[in-house]
Amino acid sequence: MNALRCAGLRRSFGALAAVDDVDLTVATGARHALIGPNGAGKSTLFTLVTGTMRADGGTVELAGRDVTRLSEVARCRLGMSQTMQHASLFGSMSAAQTVLLAVQRHDGGRIGLLPRRRPTLRARAEELLAEVGLAERGDVAVPALSHGERKQLEVALALACRPSLLLLDEPAAGMSPAESARLVALLAALPREITVLFVEHDLDVVFALADAVTVLHLGRVLLSGSPDEVRASEAVREAYLGTGRREELFEA
């Protein structure tokens, strides 16, 4: 069974078909990248998958279940979690407090420390911080974290709801090469029970992490295949660079 299957997804804004009859299959356990030039429809497709925006047509299946008409919250309860391109973290809290809040919300029900649940919830928060490489940064206020560390914290928040499908919208945006390398290592080390679908402009990150790649162009799927197939595609090169050379896109 696939982790995610989209069939015939469509979404238009007036005369513009932002997502135009898109089929997308993400295998369970995959690290699947969604790439394409600016305006290709990647962000719109993401919002249709998460339920943030309703599709004009087509279907979305999560682990074989049709979730097309379900809300974003309902999809999350069924195992879909996401990080956003632009972070929205609480500046008044530490990293540990932020993760604990997310754990409480998912595992503890209503917000507020529950005395009998407190040790279990704190242990889960500490486990998540360690999983994303922030074990020694829990007491640091969110604004004092580096950009890369805030991105790592966002991943911890997304993992707090124990997802089967993790969606990442440009997780490496604004990162230094060193921060990007740490992010790739973090995501590669996640258990294969968690499928990852990510939108990313940094092709070095894409080819370091992805085992499958889907290329969008003008709202349609141009190619879906292995990283090697995408690297070798003249159509992908032309979509990105027109008549430019492949070496300018896929540098060694």
Question: Three-state SS across 9-58?
Answer: EEEEECCEEEEEEEEEEECCCCEEEEECCCCCCHHHHHHHHHCCCCCCEE
Range of lowest pLDDT (7-16, 89-98, 195-204): 89-98
Range of lowest pLDDT (73-77, 115-119, 182-186): 115-119
pLDDT at 249 (0 to 100): 58
Higher model confidence: residue 109 or residue 163? 163
Q: Enumerate the domain spans of the chain.
A: 1-79+163-252, 89-162
Token look-up 């190619």 returns: 223
Contact of 35 with 225, CB cutoff 8 Å: no
pLDDT digits (tens, 9 = 90+) for 143-153: 999 988 998 99
With a cut of 90, say whether residue 213 has pLDDT above it. yes
With a cut of 50, say whether residue 252 has pLDDT above it. no
Alpha carbons 37 and 243: distance in angstroms, whole number: 14
pLDDT at 119 (0 to 100): 79
In CATH, the architecture of 1-79+163-252 is 3-Layer(aba) Sandwich (3.40)
Rounded percentage of the chain residues whose pLDDT exceeds 90: 70
- Mean pLDDT over the full length of the chain: 88
Tokens of 80: 């879909």
pLDDT digits (tens, 9 = 90+) for 176-185: 999 999 999 9
Q: Average pLDDT in the 48-52 region?
A: 95
pLDDT digits (tens, 9 = 90+) for 5-47: 999 999 999 999 999 999 999 999 999 999 999 889 999 999 9
pLDDT at 88 (0 to 100): 66
Confidence of residue 105 (pLDDT cuts 50, 70, 90): confident
